[in-house]
Structure 1
Amino acid sequence: MTLMLHAGANPLDYDDLRQLEAPEATATHVPIPHHRLVDAVRHTLGFYGHAVEEEHHGVTPDGMRYFGVLSLKSSYGDYTDTVGLRNSHDKTFPIGISFGSRVFVCDNLAFIADHVVRRKHTANAKRDLPGLVGELIEPLADQREAQHRVMTRYRTTTLTQDAADHAVMELYRADVITVTRIGAVMDRWENPPHDWGVKTAWRLFNCVTHALEGRIAEQPVLTERLHQVIEATCVHRPPPDSVGRLLSQE
């Protein structure tokens, strides 16, 4: 799950979320209760066959701003997809719904994911909310299948030591890892703290995310760069002596 509350919001469960009241509507601003947004997304996910396995919610002390993340049960393996939610009653930001393999929802107003829908709090937004949610979730099955193909490619791409070394250097060049993190990644590559299987692109991917767990959360764009390097590694593997040349040039 990727819900970071470090700018004033507090975690709460769904039952407590239901107890929060929305302000009265005006001619130009029609607040939608936070739990109604959660209900709409949950219902639509279920309609399209997605099961919510875990959820986390947070609100600011005044109850005006809401942040949430729903984790979806996966039939593909040991990872999950997530849906991020955001809502406000004080016009701070519009309704937000996002999906991605790396959803990041934060109470400092960061809101990053693969697919994002935002809509201002108007009478039309309240009326159109079910349709908006449906438009986002209807293609979700295809998106999850595409992600599964990526993960399968990682799992089935065995890496030589030269290929792994080359990928780590590319991660450094892409500013995914710093010089001081190279050792941490390689240590996990040789002695993984979890069972990530044999030396494949999947194992390297997990080595990097494990070594950068805090930094990945604070800078989600790193995940995109990480995927780009791992994807390139799966397609193009360097000749045996190329890594030595690369290292001698640094």
Structure 2
Amino acid sequence: MLLHCGAQVVDRQDLFEVITPNGTDTWYPIPHRDLLHEVETQLRESGFIIKGESHALTHDGARYFGVIQVSLPTRNEDDFGWVVGLRNSHDKSLPAGLVAGTQVFVCDNLAFNGEVKLSRKHTRFAQRDLRQLTARAVGQLGDKFHELDRRIVTYKQKYLPDRSAHDLVIRAVDCRAITTSQVPAVLQEWRKPQHEEFLPRNGWSLFNAFSEVYKTVNPQTAVKRGQALHGLFDSHVALAS
């Protein structure tokens, strides 16, 4: 389920055994296991159901990326579900954070949209304040998930002739949602989808042609490109604010 090109997929025990380096006067690294525990706790306390998880490490355990599948008791899941992406680092490369995203059931594609950074980063008292910080971050996820639901409905309603689809592919290169070398793969998925669910000529089918190629990139790159892709499609279907 997890995008893992360039990353090592691990289980919870492997993740918990990663040694957190000693901090400095200005840098206080958060253990990967503590971030995961607090996020899961806050998700449950906020009413989310945790349905699955996957974890990956890069750079000899210094960088962590996880995916948690979540839902609500009142949500009727159709062809896609909600996921929370987690990230953390022990090498000062990025702050701890969360990102809201979707998982398409038929093809297991992932796409990420709204990023929520933990406000203190890895600074003094970040470990002490971890529960408060994660509660604040998780509190923002509900609105982002419902925004994702609304935009996907709009993508499905947007008819796309080939000419418009081809234009979006080029614009995706311009906004760095894909690279030039990935254009043929996206066009192949658009013209001859692997899954019949994406035969309709609409925005949702093209979006999944893009997210299919994200399986070949590392998690951090996938997050950045997914956010750029959502921005591009929102603009095209007049969802951008």
TM over 0.5: yes
Alignment of 1:186-205 (within 5 A): 186-194=187-195, 195-205=197-207
Q: Distance in 2 between matches of 1:232 and 1:29?
A: 39
Q: Distance in 2 between matches of 1:70 and 1:28?
A: 29
What is the identity, as a one-letter code, of the residue corresponding to 2:158? T
Q: Distance in 2 between matches of 1:152 and 1:87?
A: 35
Q: Distance in 2 between matches of 1:26 and 1:211?
A: 40
Q: Runs of 5+ in structure 2 lacking a partner? A: 103-112
Q: Distance in 2 between matches of 1:225 and 1:125?
A: 29
Q: Residue 48 of structure 2 corresponds to which residue in structure 1?
A: 50
What is the identity, as a one-letter code, of the residue corresponding to 2:231? Q
1:226 and 2:229 are equivalent in the alignment: yes
1:72 and 2:74 are equivalent in the alignment: no
1:168 and 2:169 are equivalent in the alignment: yes
Q: Distance in 2 between matches of 1:146 and 1:66?
A: 29
Q: Distance in 2 between matches of 1:28 and 1:177?
A: 36
TM-score in terms of structure 1 length:
0.68
1:183–1:22: structure 2 CA closer, same or farther, 3 Å change rule? closer
Secondary structure, counterpart of 1:119 in structure 2: coil
Shift of 1:200: 0.8
Q: Is the 8 A contact 1:3 1:69 kept in 2?
A: no
1:138 and 2:135 are equivalent in the alignment: no
Which has more radius of gyration? 1
Shift of 1:205: 0.9
Q: Distance in 1 between matches of 2:129 and 2:143?
A: 24
**Aligned Cα root-mean-square deviation (Å):** 3.6
CA deviation string 1:204-240 (max 9, x = no partner): 111123245435854654333322332233249xxxx
Shift of 1:164: 2.6
Q: How many residues align?
A: 219
Q: Distance in 2 between matches of 1:4 and 1:186?
A: 21
1:216–1:196: structure 2 CA closer, same or farther, 3 Å change rule? farther
Q: Distance in 2 between matches of 1:22 and 1:174?
A: 36
Q: Is the 8 A contact 1:70 1:84 kept in 2?
A: yes
Q: Runs of 5+ in structure 1 lacking a partner? A: 103-111, 237-250
CA deviation string 1:163-187 (max 9, x = no partner): 3344334335545456665444333
Percent of aligned positions that are identical: 20
What is the identity, as a one-letter code, of the residue corresponding to 1:41? V
TM-score in terms of structure 2 length:
0.71
Q: Distance in 2 between matches of 1:125 and 1:180?
A: 41
Query: Pick from 35, 38, 43: which aligns with 2:36?
Result: 38
Q: Residue 99 of structure 1 corresponds to which residue in structure 2?
A: 99
Q: Is the 8 A contact 1:69 1:85 kept in 2?
A: yes
